Amino acid sequence: MEFDKYLMETKTEDKISTLYNRMITILLETACLNECAMVVLHSKGYNGFKRWHRYRSREFREFVICLDNELFDKFHKTVKHEPVSISYAPANMNSHLVNWKEKLATAIHDLGECNKEYFALTGTTNCIVEDAIHILTRDYEKACRYYERFSEGDWLAHDMHVVDDIIHYKYKKKEEEHGYKY
């Protein structure tokens, strides 16, 4: 009987390690995608969107660190991070927003599934993943809103850059508040 209980605990711990590995991989992919988007948008002259993606990349990397720490603190396990390689090259702002909406929707869905599985294994949800999903959902809503606005016929490139300047100021202020130095 004791051996069966040990086997069940070991299987659950293995499932939890695998689940954390999936959650961490999703967040690392999202962070890397933000970094790629940051570079592409900077090259196209959108410094506000660049700052937005840089800030988000840093946030998602912090979530990865939090999940690593939580896995070790709660379950005394560690996971090995596999390198993430992503290629991302939208042609213009509208194609970026379309691609970005799809990537965000996929990440939200995948993290939601992981959180459901985590709940099935532990009886609680993972608050770090919930915070990440909340941020991803807000970004998805913003991407949808910007896409609708920028795809209307009366929006000019100048108008996009006015919005970009507002975003630049907002995220510059946030980076200064959090002490991020770049």
What does the pLDDT look like over 53-66, one tens digit per residue?
999 999 999 999 99
Beta-carbon-side half-sphere exposure of residue 117 (alpha carbons within 13 Å):
17
Q: What is the pLDDT of residue 154?
A: 64
Residues in the chain: 182
Q: What is the dihedral of CA 171, 45, 54, 100, to 10 degrees?
A: 100
- DSSP E strands in 54-182: the ranges are none
Q: What is the mean pLDDT of the chain?
A: 87
Give residue for tokens 């507002």: 166
Name 126's Cβ contacts closer than 8 Å, sequence gap at least 6. 23, 67, 70, 114, 115, 118
Q: What is the pLDDT of residue 158?
A: 62
Answer with the residue of higher pLDDT: 106 or 88: 106
The pTM of the full predicted model, rounded to 2 decimals, is 0.86
Q: What is the pLDDT confidence band of residue 106, given thresholds at 50, 70 and 90?
A: very high
Beta-carbon-side half-sphere exposure of residue 151 (alpha carbons within 13 Å):
11
Residue 109, pLDDT > 60, answer yes
- Pair 50, 80: CB distance under 8 Å: no
- Pair 54, 170: CB distance under 8 Å: no
